[in-house]
């Protein structure tokens, strides 16, 4: 096997010596030389006369790609693909995208830097170098500092180089290599090896799947959710008609419930005179009426019954409750309107109990009185 | 360690024109301050808070960096530590600037009115903390903590110039370890007391960190500015090089990014939750012209210096460093203005009231620096780390 000269190396014992040696070699005009140390030494790149690395531009480019890509992806998801109102904010709420954009930018910058370093600077997949497996490399990766001047440098002359390195106080040694060693191909892309890797991947994932989904399988803990009862609005398998919710038996009345005798179409002023308010306008009933009025009536009729809706025009505004028509109505007419509804106003008999409806009537009467107070009320 | 001869310039008066400029700014500032207090005490008082918190930023930030250098064993900054030790002296004008605020306390702080607190449940429940006696006691405690540690650090450092005793460095390291947690707590509470309580209903748990970050960034910017300007004129030592400049640039860059991170986090959490008891503070700063001030802060405090300092060569250029430091100092003033003034007026105002305290602050910084530079060495000649700091390489 033919051996060729790769470089002349020199070993030094102290960091200051290697900095001085690097300066000497640089000043002598050598271009193809390298310095090896077990740990980074401050000021060495300056002593070697290294140019600034271009790796920072890769980092910058990767960060810009990451940031731009992420902000466009987040915008596309939030505006185009799956628009959802979150917290009443517009679809394109950029402050929410900032953290994820920042993090993807950092992630891509890091991956891009490492990737570029391996691909361009380390010339992957080339994994051999003439200095590998030499006594020189063993020393400089433990406790010594070395400089190596390559034989293919333009002004290389073995004698001169040896003298130069010796004058800088080093222990000089030549490194030889064989072509065979350099053309050594890593077996990473050998088909057999690839098949082996794929087989291992398949076996572990299949084994993992079977183990977790078949051997260790536990049914989900859903016994609180899945009870043998009929939920509202669901089908029943027990009753022949399939309805889960039952109707009252014909001719019966539920306890504490008085059926309402008037139909939806009945005019308020015609049926009102037959209904008598069972409640007195005491503090208790007025407080109840006020509470229920604010819950159910005020969204459309306004806080004081003026018909100034709080719904910002989402529903048509109702007329005021302080008109002569409503003020001269009997209590029963207002009760009937709440019970069966009128025009766009729906029936409230299922939301508001009978008592509460009468209490609301009392409260409306109070509002009307307040808006049309007599002289005597003010005293 | 190094073979080359180091030429330290231990003591030298500052250039006459800088000293003159400092005195001129101080006098003009004082005249404007008196004038504004005579014409409109309330508006002057709000501006007083801006100037007060700005000077406190520089003073406390400087003491923080002294402690940080000791505790981290930093080498590159040792030749410039005197700048920080001179800047810490600003604790004296900070105390002086607090006096007129205390005299106009009722015009400035809403929660000092007993009748307002009596009718306000929120303020009532905050009153065990937010009352005038406890507020004053706390302020005294902060000042005692800061000045105690500052004067011991300074004393040890100045004495070391004469006796070169290495034990003094060790003492300061131990003190720095005790000081840094105390500082973190005291400066957070300080910002809550003096800035956040201007809007006593508002609260943000980020606020202390926000002010702390801005403070140390500003102290570093002032230091960088002094170091670059004076080195260009041949102060400190011969052989100051890009390694030293790069360290200043990298630290500035890191801190301004951290400031942006904190500022954005504070904004985003409040914006996302959108709770009325929190968001009104930002809403007030996003209408009637305040939105331009807000955008200006984002640009001046982050984006412009960020892009100025982002590349490695630019961190080594003295001119870029000087410019970005100046921008950051101005941005911190603007930041304090943005924190304080919306309480005073619904839209941004600018008149001699607003200029009085910035002019005075800059003047006082220069004058105090010049006075001490005349008396003491500009480089800590007795420090054991000094030679390593001068020979520092990246």
Q: How confident is the model at residue B5 (pLDDT cuts 50, 70, 90)?
A: low
Lowest mean pLDDT among A266-270, B179-183, B215-219: A266-270
What is the spatial distance between Cα A147 and Cα A143, in angstroms, rounded to a whole number?
A: 14
- Enumerate residues 20 to 59 of chain A having a beta carbon within 8 A of any beta carbon in chain B: 42-43, 46, 52, 56
Please count the helices (runs of H) and the strands (runs of E) in chain A: 14, 4
Give the sign of the dihedral formed by CA B375, CA B380, CA B383, CA B387: negative
Nearest to B264 among A42, A43, A98 (CB): A98
**Domains in chain B, number:** 1
The C-alpha of A170 sits at a distance from chain B's nearest C-alpha, in angstroms, of: 20
**Interface size between A and B, measured as CB pairs under 8 A:** 25
Residues of chain B with C-beta less than 8 angstroms from the C-beta of A42: 392-394
Nearest to A46 among B267, B274, B393 (CB): B393
Give Cα A78 distance to the centre of its chain: 11
- Token pair listed for A93: 């709420």
Predicted confidence (pLDDT) at residue A245 exceeds the cutoff of 90: no
Mean pLDDT score of chain A: 86
Contact at CB, B268 and A88, closer than 8 angstroms? no
Contact at CB, B268 and A96, closer than 8 angstroms? yes
B8 located within any domain: no
Residues of chain B with C-beta less than 8 angstroms from the C-beta of A46: 393
The C-alpha of B310 sits at a distance from chain A's nearest C-alpha, in angstroms, of: 10
B99: Cβ contacts below 8 Å, ≥ 6 apart: none
Contact at CB, A88 and B274, closer than 8 angstroms? yes
What is the spatial distance between Cα A161 and Cα A155, in angstroms, rounded to a whole number?
A: 9
* A162: alpha, beta or left? (left if phi > 0; alpha if psi -120 to 50): alpha
B58 located within any domain: yes
B10 located within any domain: no
Nearest to A353 by CA among A273, A254, A270, A274: A254
pLDDT score, position B6: 59
Contact at CB, B393 and A88, closer than 8 angstroms? no
| C-beta separation of A367 from A304 below 8 A | yes
The C-alpha of A34 sits at a distance from chain B's nearest C-alpha, in angstroms, of: 19
Nearest to A332 by CA among A285, A288, A267, A277: A277
B4 located within any domain: no
Predicted confidence (pLDDT) at residue B317 exceeds the cutoff of 60: yes
Q: How confident is the model at residue B189 (pLDDT cuts 50, 70, 90)?
A: very high
Q: What is the pLDDT of residues B191-204, one digit of tens each?
A: 999 999 999 999 99
pLDDT score, position B195: 94
Q: What is the pLDDT of residues B329-352, one digit of tens each?
A: 999 999 999 999 999 988 899 988
| C-beta separation of B307 from B253 below 8 A | no
* Chain A interface disruption, residue of B244, B253, B271, most A CBs within 10 A: B271
Nearest to A52 among B273, B312, B392 (CB): B312
Q: Is some CB atom of chain B closer than 8 A to the CB atom of A196?
A: no
* A202: alpha, beta or left? (left if phi > 0; alpha if psi -120 to 50): alpha
DSSP B128: T
What is the spatial distance between Cα B280 and Cα B293, in angstroms, rounded to a whole number?
A: 17
Residues of chain B with C-beta less than 8 angstroms from the C-beta of A15: none
Cα–Cα distances in Å, from A244 out to A232, A236, A251?
A: 7, 4, 21
Contact at CB, A56 and B311, closer than 8 angstroms? yes
Contact at CB, A43 and B393, closer than 8 angstroms? yes
Predicted confidence (pLDDT) at residue A276 exceeds the cutoff of 90: no
The C-alpha of A268 sits at a distance from chain B's nearest C-alpha, in angstroms, of: 44
The C-alpha of A36 sits at a distance from chain B's nearest C-alpha, in angstroms, of: 18
DSSP A342: B
Contact at CB, A52 and B313, closer than 8 angstroms? yes
Q: What is the pLDDT of residues B255-311, one digit of tens each?
A: 999 999 999 999 999 999 889 889 999 999 999 999 999 999 999 999 999 999 998
Contact at CB, B274 and A89, closer than 8 angstroms? yes
Which carries the bigger pLDDT value, residue A63 or residue A264? A63
Q: What is the pLDDT of residues A187-196, one digit of tens each?
A: 777 889 999 9
B73 located within any domain: yes
Residues of chain B with C-beta less than 8 angstroms from the C-beta of A56: 311-312
Q: Domain of B378?
A: 16-390
CB atoms within 10 A of CB A233: 7
Contact at CB, B312 and A56, closer than 8 angstroms? yes
**Omega before B152 cis (within 30°)?**
no
The C-alpha of B259 sits at a distance from chain A's nearest C-alpha, in angstroms, of: 15
Residue of chain B nearest A90, judged by CA positions: B272
Q: Is some CB atom of chain B closer than 8 A to the CB atom of A90?
A: no
Backbone angles phi, psi at A219, to 5 degrees: -65, 150
Residues of chain A with C-beta less than 8 angstroms from the C-beta of B394: 42-43
Mean pLDDT score of chain B: 92
Contact at CB, B274 and A52, closer than 8 angstroms? no
Cα–Cα distances in Å, from A142 out to A137, B202, B221?
A: 9, 60, 42
- pLDDT (mean) for A255-266: 77
The C-alpha of A126 sits at a distance from chain B's nearest C-alpha, in angstroms, of: 31
The C-alpha of B8 sits at a distance from chain A's nearest C-alpha, in angstroms, of: 22
B289 located within any domain: yes
Residue of chain A nearest B391, judged by CA positions: A43
Predicted confidence (pLDDT) at residue B74 exceeds the cutoff of 70: yes
Nearest to A87 among B272, B312, B392 (CB): B272
Q: How confident is the model at residue A65 (pLDDT cuts 50, 70, 90)?
A: very high
Predicted confidence (pLDDT) at residue B2 exceeds the cutoff of 50: no
Contact at CB, A43 and B267, closer than 8 angstroms? no
B120 located within any domain: yes
Residue A132, SS3?
coil
Q: What is the pLDDT of residues B138-188, one digit of tens each?
A: 999 999 999 999 999 999 999 998 888 899 999 999 999 999 999 999 999
| C-beta separation of A300 from A348 below 8 A | no
What interhelical angle do A158-167 and A15-27 show, nearest 10? Answer: 140
What is the spatial distance between Cα A341 and Cα A361, in angstroms, rounded to a whole number?
A: 14
pLDDT score, position B321: 95
Residues of chain B with C-beta less than 8 angstroms from the C-beta of A88: 274
Q: How confident is the model at residue B1 (pLDDT cuts 50, 70, 90)?
A: very low
- Token pair listed for A193: 């090896």
* Chain A interface disruption, residue of B258, B266, B272, most A CBs within 10 A: B272
B78 located within any domain: yes
Residue of chain B nearest A45, judged by CA positions: B394
Residues of chain A with C-beta less than 8 angstroms from the C-beta of B312: 52, 56
Q: How confident is the model at residue A43 (pLDDT cuts 50, 70, 90)?
A: confident
Residues of chain A with C-beta less than 8 angstroms from the C-beta of B393: 42-43, 46
Contact at CB, B313 and A43, closer than 8 angstroms? no
């Amino acid at each position: 096997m033919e051996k060729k000269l790769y470089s002349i190396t020199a070993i030094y014992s102290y960091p200051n010596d290697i900095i001085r040696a690097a300066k000497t070699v640089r000043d002598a005009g050598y271009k193809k030389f390298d310095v090896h140390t077990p740990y980074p030494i401050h000021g060495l790149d300056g002593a070697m006369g290294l140019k600034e690395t271009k790796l920072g531009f890769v980092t910058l480019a990767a960060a810009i790609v990451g940031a731009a890509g992420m902000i466009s992806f987040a915008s596309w998801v939030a505006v185009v693909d799956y628009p959802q109102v979150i917290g009443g904010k517009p679809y394109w709420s950029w402050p929410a995208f900032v953290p994820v954009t920042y993090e993807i930018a950092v992630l891509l910058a890091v991956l891009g830097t490492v990737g570029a370093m391996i691909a361009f600077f380390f010339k992957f997949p080339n994994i051999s170098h003439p200095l590998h497996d030499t006594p020189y490399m063993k020393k400089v990766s433990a406790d010594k500092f070395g400089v190596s001047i390559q034989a293919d440098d333009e002004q290389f002359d073995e004698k001169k180089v040896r003298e130069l390195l010796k004058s800088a106080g080093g222990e000089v040694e030549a490194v030889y290599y064989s072509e065979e060693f350099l053309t050594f191909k890593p077996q990473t892309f050998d088909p057999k090896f690839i098949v082996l890797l794929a087989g291992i991947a398949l076996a572990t994932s299949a084994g993992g799947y079977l183990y977790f989904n078949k051997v260790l399988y536990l049914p989900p803990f859903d016994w609180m959710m899945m009870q043998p009862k009929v939920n509202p609005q669901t089908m029943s398998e027990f009753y022949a008609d399939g309805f889960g919710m039952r109707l009252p038996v014909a001719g019966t009345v539920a306890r504490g419930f008085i059926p309402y005798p008037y139909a939806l179409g009945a005019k308020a002023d015609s049926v009102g005179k037959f209904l008598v308010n069972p409640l007195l306008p005491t503090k208790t009933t007025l407080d109840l009426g006020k509470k229920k009025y604010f819950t159910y009536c005020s969204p459309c009729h306004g806080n004081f019954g003026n018909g100034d809706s709080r719904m910002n025009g989402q529903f048509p505004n109702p007329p005021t409750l302080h008109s002569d028509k409503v003020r001269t109505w009997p209590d029963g007419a207002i009760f009937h309107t709440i019970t069966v509804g009128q025009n766009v106003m729906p029936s409230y008999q299922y939301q508001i109990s009978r008592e509460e409806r009468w209490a609301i009537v009392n409260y409306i009467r109070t509002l009307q009185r307040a808006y049309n107070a007599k002289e005597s009320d003010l005293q | 360690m190094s073979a080359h001869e180091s030429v330290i310039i231990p003591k030298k008066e500052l250039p006459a024109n800088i000293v003159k400029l400092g005195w001129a700014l101080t006098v003009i500032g004082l005249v404007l301050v008196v004038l504004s207090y005579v014409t409109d005490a309330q508006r002057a008082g709000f501006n007083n808070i801006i100037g007060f918190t700005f000077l406190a930023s520089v003073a406390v930030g400087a003491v923080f960096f002294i402690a940080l250098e000791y505790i981290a064993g930093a080498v590159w900054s040792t030749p410039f530590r005197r700048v920080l030790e001179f800047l810490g002296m600003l604790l004296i004008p900070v105390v002086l600037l607090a006096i007129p605020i205390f005299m106009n306390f009722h015009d400035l702080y809403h929660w000092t009115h007993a009748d307002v607190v009596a009718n306000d449940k929120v303020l009532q429940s905050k009153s065990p903390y937010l009352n005038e006696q406890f507020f004053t006691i706390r302020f005294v405690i902060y000042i005692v903590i800061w000045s105690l540690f500052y004067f011991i650090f300074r004393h040890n450092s100045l004495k070391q110039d004469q006796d070169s005793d290495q034990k003094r460095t060790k003492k300061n390291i131990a003190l720095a370890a005790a000081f840094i947690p105390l500082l973190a707590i005291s400066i957070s509470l300080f910002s809550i007391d003096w800035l956040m309580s201007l809007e006593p209903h508002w609260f943000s748990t980020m606020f202390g960190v926000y002010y702390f970050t801005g403070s140390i960034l500003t102290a570093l910017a002032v230091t960088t500015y002094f170091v670059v300007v004076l080195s260009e004129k041949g102060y400190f030592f011969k052989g100051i090089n890009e390694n030293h400049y790069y360290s200043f640039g990298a630290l500035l860059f890191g801190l301004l990014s951290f400031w942006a991170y904190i500022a954005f986090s504070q904004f985003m959490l409040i914006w996302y939750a959108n709770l009325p008891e929190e968001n009104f503070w930002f809403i007030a700063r996003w209408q009637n012209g305040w939105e331009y001030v807000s955008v200006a802060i984002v640009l001046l405090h982050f984006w412009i210096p960020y892009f100025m300092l982002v590349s490695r060569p630019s961190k080594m250029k003295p001119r870029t460093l000087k410019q970005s430091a100046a921008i950051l100092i101005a941005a911190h003033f603007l930041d304090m203005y943005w924190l304080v003034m919306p309480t005073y007026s619904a839209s941004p105002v600018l008149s001699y009231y607003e200029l009085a305290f910035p002019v005075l602050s800059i003047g006082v910084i220069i004058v105090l620096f010049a006075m001490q530079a005349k008396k003491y060495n500009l480089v800590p000649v007795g420090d054991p780390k000094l030679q390593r700091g001068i020979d520092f390489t990246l």
